[in-house]
Amino acid sequence: MKTFVYPEMMVHVGLCTHKLPMQVLLASDNTQFLMGELSRYRESTVTSVGSANLLESFRNTDDKSADVILLDGVTDDSAVIAHINRVLKEDGLVVMQHPSLDEVEANTSLMQILGNYFKIIMPYHLENGTTLLLCSKEYHPTADIILQRSDLLEGHSYYNCDVQIASFAMPQYVRKNYLGIIRN
Protein backbone atom coordinates (compact mmCIF):
# COMPACT_ATOMS: atom_id res chain seq x y z
CA MET A 1 0.00 0.00 0.00
CA LYS A 2 1.28 3.46 -0.80
CA THR A 3 2.31 5.31 2.36
CA PHE A 4 -0.11 8.20 1.80
CA VAL A 5 -3.29 6.09 1.57
CA TYR A 6 -3.56 5.03 5.21
CA PRO A 7 -3.11 8.45 6.84
CA GLU A 8 -5.41 10.17 4.34
CA MET A 9 -8.19 7.61 4.78
CA MET A 10 -7.75 7.31 8.56
CA VAL A 11 -8.05 11.08 9.05
CA HIS A 12 -10.27 12.48 6.32
CA VAL A 13 -13.10 9.94 6.35
CA GLY A 14 -13.82 10.71 10.01
CA LEU A 15 -13.19 14.44 9.90
CA CYS A 16 -15.21 14.93 6.70
CA THR A 17 -18.12 12.93 8.17
CA HIS A 18 -18.46 14.68 11.55
CA LYS A 19 -20.40 17.93 11.35
CA LEU A 20 -17.97 19.96 13.47
CA PRO A 21 -14.82 18.07 14.51
CA MET A 22 -13.37 20.61 16.95
CA GLN A 23 -11.75 18.16 19.39
CA VAL A 24 -9.84 15.23 17.91
CA LEU A 25 -8.19 12.59 20.05
CA LEU A 26 -5.42 10.65 18.34
CA ALA A 27 -4.47 7.34 19.97
CA SER A 28 -1.28 6.31 18.25
CA ASP A 29 2.34 5.54 18.91
CA ASN A 30 3.12 6.94 15.46
CA THR A 31 1.47 10.36 15.66
CA GLN A 32 3.70 12.09 13.11
CA PHE A 33 2.40 9.66 10.49
CA LEU A 34 -1.12 11.12 10.91
CA MET A 35 -0.39 14.69 12.08
CA GLY A 36 0.40 15.90 8.56
CA GLU A 37 -3.16 15.13 7.52
CA LEU A 38 -4.66 16.41 10.78
CA SER A 39 -2.85 19.74 10.37
CA ARG A 40 -5.15 20.53 7.42
CA TYR A 41 -7.99 21.07 9.92
CA ARG A 42 -7.01 24.40 11.42
CA GLU A 43 -10.26 24.65 13.39
CA SER A 44 -9.60 21.32 15.14
CA THR A 45 -7.59 20.82 18.30
CA VAL A 46 -5.71 17.52 18.33
CA THR A 47 -4.79 15.77 21.55
CA SER A 48 -2.50 12.79 21.28
CA VAL A 49 -2.26 9.77 23.59
CA GLY A 50 -0.15 6.66 23.24
CA SER A 51 -1.70 3.43 22.08
CA ALA A 52 0.63 1.14 24.05
CA ASN A 53 -1.71 1.20 27.06
CA LEU A 54 -5.10 2.21 25.66
CA LEU A 55 -7.03 1.52 28.86
CA GLU A 56 -4.82 3.88 30.86
CA SER A 57 -4.79 6.50 28.10
CA PHE A 58 -8.59 6.61 27.84
CA ARG A 59 -9.11 6.26 31.60
CA ASN A 60 -7.18 9.53 32.05
CA THR A 61 -9.15 11.42 29.38
CA ASP A 62 -12.07 13.69 30.33
CA ASP A 63 -15.69 12.71 29.74
CA LYS A 64 -17.29 14.03 26.55
CA SER A 65 -14.06 15.70 25.46
CA ALA A 66 -13.69 14.41 21.89
CA ASP A 67 -15.73 14.78 18.72
CA VAL A 68 -13.58 12.29 16.81
CA ILE A 69 -11.21 9.59 18.04
CA LEU A 70 -8.66 8.14 15.65
CA LEU A 71 -7.44 4.83 17.03
CA ASP A 72 -4.32 3.76 15.17
CA GLY A 73 -4.52 0.20 16.43
CA VAL A 74 -6.81 -2.75 17.08
CA THR A 75 -8.67 -3.37 20.32
CA ASP A 76 -11.51 -5.65 21.29
CA ASP A 77 -11.18 -4.80 24.99
CA SER A 78 -14.70 -3.96 26.19
CA ALA A 79 -13.29 -1.70 28.94
CA VAL A 80 -11.34 0.36 26.39
CA ILE A 81 -14.42 0.62 24.17
CA ALA A 82 -16.54 1.72 27.15
CA HIS A 83 -14.00 4.47 27.85
CA ILE A 84 -14.03 5.49 24.18
CA ASN A 85 -17.80 5.88 24.49
CA ARG A 86 -17.39 7.93 27.69
CA VAL A 87 -14.77 10.21 26.09
CA LEU A 88 -16.79 10.84 22.91
CA LYS A 89 -19.41 13.57 22.78
CA GLU A 90 -23.03 12.63 22.06
CA ASP A 91 -22.50 12.90 18.30
CA GLY A 92 -18.95 11.54 18.30
CA LEU A 93 -17.34 8.98 16.07
CA VAL A 94 -14.29 6.76 16.11
CA VAL A 95 -12.16 5.48 13.24
CA MET A 96 -10.11 2.43 14.14
CA GLN A 97 -8.24 -0.55 12.84
CA HIS A 98 -9.86 -3.97 13.12
CA PRO A 99 -9.07 -7.56 12.17
CA SER A 100 -9.26 -8.50 8.50
CA LEU A 101 -12.84 -8.87 7.25
CA ASP A 102 -11.94 -12.51 6.57
CA GLU A 103 -11.73 -12.97 10.35
CA VAL A 104 -15.51 -13.02 10.78
CA GLU A 105 -15.54 -14.35 14.35
CA ALA A 106 -13.09 -11.72 15.67
CA ASN A 107 -14.89 -8.88 13.88
CA THR A 108 -18.31 -10.11 14.97
CA SER A 109 -17.19 -10.06 18.59
CA LEU A 110 -15.69 -6.57 18.21
CA MET A 111 -18.70 -5.17 16.35
CA GLN A 112 -21.11 -6.61 18.93
CA ILE A 113 -19.23 -4.76 21.70
CA LEU A 114 -19.23 -1.58 19.60
CA GLY A 115 -22.95 -2.06 18.97
CA ASN A 116 -23.61 -1.29 22.64
CA TYR A 117 -22.50 2.30 22.02
CA PHE A 118 -22.75 3.16 18.32
CA LYS A 119 -25.71 3.19 15.95
CA ILE A 120 -23.50 3.11 12.83
CA ILE A 121 -20.68 0.56 12.48
CA MET A 122 -19.20 0.33 8.99
CA PRO A 123 -15.95 -1.05 7.62
CA TYR A 124 -14.39 0.75 4.69
CA HIS A 125 -11.72 -0.16 2.16
CA LEU A 126 -8.36 1.37 1.66
CA GLU A 127 -6.41 -0.26 -1.12
CA ASN A 128 -4.83 -3.69 -1.15
CA GLY A 129 -7.71 -5.29 0.81
CA THR A 130 -7.05 -3.31 4.00
CA THR A 131 -10.08 -1.93 5.82
CA LEU A 132 -10.72 0.47 8.68
CA LEU A 133 -13.84 0.70 10.83
CA LEU A 134 -15.95 3.82 11.33
CA CYS A 135 -18.28 3.77 14.34
CA SER A 136 -20.59 6.72 14.85
CA LYS A 137 -23.21 7.79 17.33
CA GLU A 138 -24.86 10.12 14.83
CA TYR A 139 -23.29 10.67 11.42
CA HIS A 140 -23.38 8.32 8.44
CA PRO A 141 -20.15 8.37 6.39
CA THR A 142 -21.84 8.38 2.99
CA ALA A 143 -25.06 10.27 3.73
CA ASP A 144 -23.53 12.93 6.00
CA ILE A 145 -20.20 13.58 4.28
CA ILE A 146 -19.42 17.29 4.40
CA LEU A 147 -18.78 17.80 0.69
CA GLN A 148 -17.64 21.40 1.03
CA ARG A 149 -15.00 20.47 3.60
CA SER A 150 -13.94 17.46 1.55
CA ASP A 151 -13.72 19.46 -1.67
CA LEU A 152 -11.79 22.37 -0.11
CA LEU A 153 -8.99 20.18 1.21
CA GLU A 154 -6.04 20.26 -1.15
CA GLY A 155 -2.85 18.33 -1.66
CA HIS A 156 -4.14 14.78 -1.39
CA SER A 157 -2.68 11.92 -3.28
CA TYR A 158 -5.59 9.52 -2.70
CA TYR A 159 -8.57 10.89 -0.73
CA ASN A 160 -11.51 12.75 -2.23
CA CYS A 161 -15.26 12.71 -1.59
CA ASP A 162 -15.88 10.09 -4.30
CA VAL A 163 -13.25 7.76 -2.82
CA GLN A 164 -14.87 8.14 0.61
CA ILE A 165 -18.28 7.08 -0.66
CA ALA A 166 -16.89 4.28 -2.82
CA SER A 167 -14.74 2.90 0.02
CA PHE A 168 -17.87 1.79 1.90
CA ALA A 169 -19.08 -0.48 -0.92
CA MET A 170 -18.83 -4.11 0.23
CA PRO A 171 -18.97 -7.32 -1.77
CA GLN A 172 -22.02 -9.52 -1.27
CA TYR A 173 -20.14 -12.22 0.68
CA VAL A 174 -19.05 -9.59 3.24
CA ARG A 175 -22.62 -8.35 3.56
CA LYS A 176 -23.81 -11.91 4.14
CA ASN A 177 -21.04 -12.67 6.67
CA TYR A 178 -21.88 -9.57 8.69
CA LEU A 179 -25.66 -9.44 8.25
CA GLY A 180 -27.11 -7.90 11.40
CA ILE A 181 -23.63 -6.99 12.69
CA ILE A 182 -22.58 -4.12 10.44
CA ARG A 183 -24.92 -1.21 11.11
CA ASN A 184 -25.50 1.22 8.32
The residue extents of the domains of the chain are 5-177
Average pLDDT over residues 133-142: 98
* Order of all β-strands in the sheet with 131-136: 45-49, 23-27, 66-71, 88-96, 131-136, 120-125
CA distance 37 to 116: 30
Mean of per-residue pLDDT scores for the chain: 95
High-pLDDT (> 90) share of the chain, %: 88
pLDDT for 152 beyond 90: no
CATH of 5-177, one of 3.30.70.580, 3.90.1150.10, 1.25.50.20, 3.40.50.150: 3.40.50.150
pLDDT for 55 beyond 80: yes
- At 51, is the pLDDT very low, low, confident or very high (cuts 50, 70, 90)? confident
Tell me which residue of 89, 94, 48 sits closest to 75, measured CA to CA. Answer: 94
Q: How many helices and strands, by DSSP H and E, does the chain display?
A: 8, 6
Average pLDDT over residues 39-57: 91
pLDDT for 70 beyond 70: yes
Average pLDDT over residues 81-98: 97
62 to 48, 84, 86: CA distances (angstroms) = 13, 10, 8
Asked whether the CA dihedral 17, 22, 68, 121 is positive or negative, the reply is negative
- What is the model's pLDDT at position 1? 63
Higher pLDDT, 67 or 52: 67
74 to 81, 105, 150, 172: CA distances (angstroms) = 11, 15, 26, 25
- What is the model's pLDDT at position 4? 93
CA distance 125 to 2: 14
Phi first, then psi: give them for residue 32, nearest 5 degrees: -65, -25
